[in-house]
Amino acid sequence: MTGNLVVLLKSTGFSAMTSGNCIMLVIACVLIYLAIARKFEPLLLLPIGFGMLLANLPLCNLMSPPSDGFTGGLVWWLYQGVKSGVFPPLIFLGIGAMTDFGPLLANPKTIFLGAAAQIGIFGTFVGALFLGFSSPQAASIGIIGGADGPTAIYLAAKLSPELLGAVAIAAYSYMALVPLIQPPIMRLLTTRKERAVVMEQLREVSRMERIIFPIISTLVICLLVPPSAPLIGMLMFGNLCRECGVVDRLSKTAQHELINIITIFLGLSVGATASADKFLQASTIQIISLGLLAFCIGTATGVLFGKLMCYLTGGKVNPLIGSAGVSAVPMAARVSQIVGQQANPQNFLLMHAMGPNVAGVIGSAIAAGVFLSLYGL
């Protein structure tokens, strides 16, 4: 009887629980708390937190690959969609179907703000090399500065899967913290007069321009940086479905059902990569710190480029819209609007900031493509 009880107890997860598992379960619960109670990027932090919880339950084998008659854990199968690079582009398909490129088409010079904000990615890449990370790992860390979750996951899964959990958690955490991280940097780098600049109302963009844009941007970007084709191609296909007006069913599916299903699979499987042995390392703290650095540099370079554009245009561009170049759509654009209104209550920067905001999505996909060209293929 006692012997049977001992065998039974040894077969439970409690007996195999390590201190690392316990710490990871606490971290998973903190992420779930932040998602539910604080509403920090809940659509992704909740599945990521729960995936982390599942992966750190001993003997459950949810993340175990197939072996000796075992068909493979449920989450391991879901993870194949991340590892193979299928899920992030499908998320981009949904994002494309939800994105209005009108503000960018109406004021195309703001595209350069989206480029300037990517400097944080490359600056942090060098910083990570300096700390001893390999080039592919440094690239995966730097891309956190793009503030674009699917791009960060896509690149990390291709270049350094061992860092995927830490990179994804850092990326989504900082995206959620945009309203806290960006405003001090924006105020520090601009004068009150610059923040109060009122921009001209944007022109109407015709339907034909909206339809041609996704086609030509696919051609231009994918021919220049072919490894970015899965991300840019899906983003622009989703946008074409939205703008052409003849495939509403496809557009609505991409905007709702498809992106929701993929978000569940992606979040759970990315969270499950954060097992105790991979996550509880000194390098995780370095990744999280470097991610914050990338984000701050990207915000600063965007604002500084905005100041340059303000000067060159004779004060027609409000530098605050530069910070929206870090992607994090539409949160970063909302932050520009809020900080602008604090300086001048008559200031409505939201639509102007959406231009660099969506340009930042394209810019971070180009940056990921550059890294894949250099270290991935």
Partner 1 sequence: MSAIILEGLKAMMLGIGITFLGLGLLWLVIRIMSIVVRRMEK
Q: Which residues bind partner 1 (CB under 8 A)?
A: 104-105, 108-109, 111-112, 114-115, 118-119, 121-123, 125-126, 129-130, 135, 138, 206, 208-209, 212-213, 216-217, 220-221, 224-225, 359, 362-363, 366-367, 370-371, 374
DSSP class of residue 40? S
As measured in angstroms, the least distance from the Cβ of 64 to partner 1 is 35
Distances in whole angstroms, Cα of residue 369 to Cα of each of 155, 225, 327, 376: 8, 6, 16, 9
Alpha carbon distances (Å) from 274 to 150, 264, 279: 17, 16, 5
Residue number with CB closer to partner 1 (68 or 204): 204
Least distance CB 109 / partner 1 (angstroms): 7
Residue corresponding to tokens 């913290």: 177
| Bridge partners, 151 (sequence order) | none
Which 3 state secondary structure label does DSSP give 376?
Answer: helix
Question: Could you say which DSSP state residue 315 is in?
Answer: S
Tell the smallest beta-carbon distance from residue 141 to partner 1 (Å): 12
**Cα dist from 243 to 116, 136, 247, 365, whole Å:** 28, 37, 9, 21
**Cβ nearer to partner 1, comparing 38 with 203:** 203
Closer residue to partner 1 (CB): 266 or 294: 294
Q: What is the DSSP string of 147-211?
A: --HHHHHHHHHHH-GGGHHHHHHHHHHHHHTHHHHHHHHHHHHS-HHHHTPPPPPPPP--HHHHH
Q: How far is the CB of 213 from partner 1 (least distance, A)?
A: 7
Identity of the residue, 88 or 227, whose beta carbon is nearer to partner 1 in the bound complex = 227
| Least distance (Å) between residue 73 CB and partner 1 | 37
Closer CB to partner 1, 284 or 364, in the complex: 364
Q: Is the peptide bond before 330 cis (omega within 30 degrees of 0)?
A: yes
- For residue 224, the minimal CB distance to partner 1 (Å) is 5
Q: Is 70 helix (H, G, I), strand (E, B) or coil?
A: strand
Q: Closer to partner 1 by CB, 217 or 289: give it.
A: 217
Q: CA-based angle 296:298:303, to the nearest 5?
A: 95
Least distance CB 163 / partner 1 (angstroms):
17
Q: Give 228 or 255: the residue with its C-beta nearer to partner 1.
A: 228
15 vs 18, 27, 73, 149, 213, CA distance in Å? 9, 21, 21, 36, 59
